[in-house]
Amino acid sequence: MTGPRILVSDSVTEGHPDKLCDQISDALVDHCLSRDPLSRIDVECTVSTGIVFIAAHYDTEAELDFIGTARKVIEAVGYRHGEFNARDCAVVTSLNKVSLAGRPARREEELSDREIDGLPAQQQVTVFGYACRQTETLMPLSITLAHELARKLDEARRAGDLPAILPDGKTQVALEYLDGRARRVHSICLLVTGTPGGMGEPELRAQLLERVVRPVFADAPVALDDRSRILINPDGPLHGGGPLLHSGLTGRKTAVDTYGEYARHGGAALSGKDPLRIDRLGAYAARHAARNLVTAGLAEQCEVQLSYSVGLTHPISVYVDTFGTGQLSDEELLYRLRTRLDLRPAGIMRRLGLREAIASSGDGFFRPLAVYGQMGRCDLAPPWERDDVAHILQG
């Protein structure tokens, strides 16, 4: 038995500058794929006071509206007035239309096994997938609660319940764990931005407690107690917010996108990349594998590591760690992953049915994933959250 341990996870609202950049980048990926499903694209975005900069390399037959798409995202997030707004901000682009390697000739479902073998990884990367039984979504509880607080902040603002706050906000949840289980809430912290002369701090605190904090923790597996600290803007009011307060960049919130620093994650950004990019696709494949091992009852928690090298189709390394909770040895589970799941890039696309999921998504597949995490998103039902191979790994 070990002593109590405090584990902390952070999330951010949709108007945080880094998340704004993620959403713009993924909206452009969706925009491209909706017009040419076999497009390859790599797009990054940065924002600062009054300016948005977009850099992209892409291979597509479609005509793309980078500037119009970016402005639509900025407006939808809530930046409609003030010094940074969708109408008046400058949008600068650096666009490079090239013939990118690895563009498939047809959908992966139509390719032969030999053709799939001819589509190797184009990047070198190590990615991690994780799953555990702390929540119904098989995600760590701390990041799940941090995301729910961020979501509630956005919902309350959009509904007009908190008119004094602006789109940019942060959340943090610190839980006390004992023997691998969350026992109590150590502290939570909300950082919200507002306009000068808006709601006073005592009223703001009361409103956030009523409309955000209490609804999230009402049904949480761990409850607030008289020792739990609730911090709201502990350094005082934050005025302006968004790109006026701090700059943003695509891919700077990888822990928020994955496991909230409860488990390991790769260093590469997820947003702004077409689905055949192995640094994005591999992270989804690793989560899918870990989730299905846990769903199959083979472990209480599980981490899967995949490593790829440029020019090679199969991963050069696969590793499984169940942290002593496995019903079988980690070596046996590793063998089952290697022999029963296709871990080649195009093979993952085919097995997950990712092209079909993207095509049927309607308003866009990747942009909704750019906020509140890309793993554990059962509300969006992405294919890596299916338990469709649990029986294959179990038998």
Question: CA 201: distance to chain centroid?
Answer: 31
| Residues 129/130/136/137 CA torsion (nearest 10 deg) | -20
Q: Cα–Cα distance between 125 and 103 in angstroms, integer?
A: 19
Tens-place pLDDT, residues 105-147:
889 999 999 999 999 999 999 999 999 999 999 999 999 999 9
Tens-place pLDDT, residues 66-79:
999 999 999 999 99
Which band of pLDDT confidence, cut at 50, 70 and 90, is reported for residue 320? very high
Tens-place pLDDT, residues 169-198:
999 999 999 988 999 999 999 999 987 666
Tens-place pLDDT, residues 282-314:
999 999 999 999 999 999 999 999 999 999 999
Which band of pLDDT confidence, cut at 50, 70 and 90, is reported for residue 363? confident
Tell which phi-psi region holds residue 80, choosing left (phi > 0), alpha (psi between -120 and 50) or beta. alpha
| Domains along the chain with CATH numbers | 5-12+141-241 (3.30.300.10), 17-102 (3.30.300.10), 125-134+251-394 (3.30.300.10)
Whether pLDDT at 1 is above 60? no
Whether pLDDT at 158 is above 80? yes
- Quick check: pTM over 0.85? yes
List Cβ neighbours of 308 (8 Å cut-off, separation of 6 or more).
121, 123, 124, 125, 126, 278, 282, 315, 316, 345
Q: Cα–Cα distance between 76 and 66 in angstroms, integer?
A: 16
Q: Cα–Cα distance between 69 and 52 in angstroms, integer?
A: 12
